[in-house]
Amino acid sequence: MTDVQLARQAWRRLEPLHGMIYFVPEAAERYAALGVEGRAGYFASRSAPFGAASAELVIASFYNFNPALVRSHLPAVWGVTTPEKMLDARLEAADAALRRAGVHEIDTLADTAELASRAAREACEHPQGRPLFAAHAALPWPSEPLPKLWHAQTLLREFRGDAHVATLLAEGVGPLDALVLHAATGQVPTVFLRFSRDWPEEEWAAAAESLRERGLMRGEELTDEGRTLRQRIEDRTDELALPAYAALSDEELARLAEQARVFGRTVVDAGLLTFSG
């Protein structure tokens, strides 16, 4: 059986490689060249694999954004540019930003790209119930190691992400509930979660009060019951992500998890995840 902890390490350590695309100026510059400004670039670029996605499709699949924010950008953005142009711009931006960080010079790049790609291709054999992942899985594979690795990690991220949404639904944790619980862990600043997802203060406060009534929070912190729920959600998400990593032997998975460390650290140290909101 695939080692759950090693699979989680491999994903988490490589995740900065994918996540940086939502912060780097290379992306904003290329989207702006297409006439797409601000947060419209995020929604258009991430949903572009669907085609000209509706606001409703993005609200459903992205899960925790204020629907009013999504509707303020979609479908209007598709009158400005096309999904194909956004996808090209996003891949170009990812390659440029990672090169700026020096990721292309890491000596294990080719091997790490191959291992992550094998896992991502295995994930492509299990698209059922994972719509955002499935849309990304239909995109063409880059041939060069750097964009290939970025694409592979993007697939693995969306594969896991769709499983996470399914788990939240099964546990009765709504979109705003999930954000408030996440903020209560202290792992991500509340100001970032509120700003990026654009929920009004009164709705955030109401969700927090509801979670307190359910015994999941006390004040602004999680109760034991809340921590148990969060851990159960994370554990189940990890389990649902395992089919991808089953493509690798124990030795290969351990190697991917170890090599992933330097890639994630390089991205973080280069400031590619800096939030400027």
3-state secondary structure 54-107: CHHHHHHHHCCCCHHHHHCCCCHHHHCCCHHHHHHHHHHHHHHHHHHHCHHHCC
**DSSP class of residue 138?**
T
Cβ proximity of 241 and 160 under 8 Å: yes
CA gap 167, 173 in Å, rounded: 9
Detail the DSSP E strand segments found in the chain: 217-218, 221-222
CA gap 12, 173 in Å, rounded: 23
Q: How much is the pTM? A: 0.95
pLDDT of residue 1: 56
Torsion of CA 200, 20, 37, 76, to 10 degrees: -70
Torsion of CA 167, 261, 44, 177, to 10 degrees: 30
Task: Find the distance separating the first CA and the last CA of the chain, reported in whole Å.
Answer: 42
Q: Which amino acid is at 125?
A: E
Q: What is the pLDDT along the chain (277 residues), one digit of tens a residue?
A: 569 999 999 999 999 999 999 999 999 999 999 999 999 999 999 999 999 999 999 999 999 999 999 999 999 999 999 999 999 999 999 999 999 999 999 999 999 999 999 999 999 999 999 999 999 999 999 999 999 999 999 999 999 999 999 999 999 999 999 999 999 999 988 888 988 999 999 999 999 999 999 999 999 999 999 999 999 999 999 999 999 999 999 999 999 999 999 999 999 999 999 875 5
pLDDT of residue 188: 87
CA gap 152, 77 in Å, rounded: 27
* Residue in this structure with the two tokens 């788990």, named with its chain if needed: 167
Reading the block at residue 2, the tokens are 């695939």
pLDDT of residue 274: 87
pLDDT of residue 239: 97
- Three-class SS of residue 249? coil
Reading the block at residue 68, the tokens are 């009013």
Check the CA dihedral 24-26-31-35 and report its sign: positive
Reading the block at residue 179, the tokens are 């954000």
Cβ proximity of 85 and 48 under 8 Å: no
CA gap 149, 7 in Å, rounded: 16
Torsion of CA 162, 4, 104, 84, to 10 degrees: -10
Cβ proximity of 253 and 116 under 8 Å: no
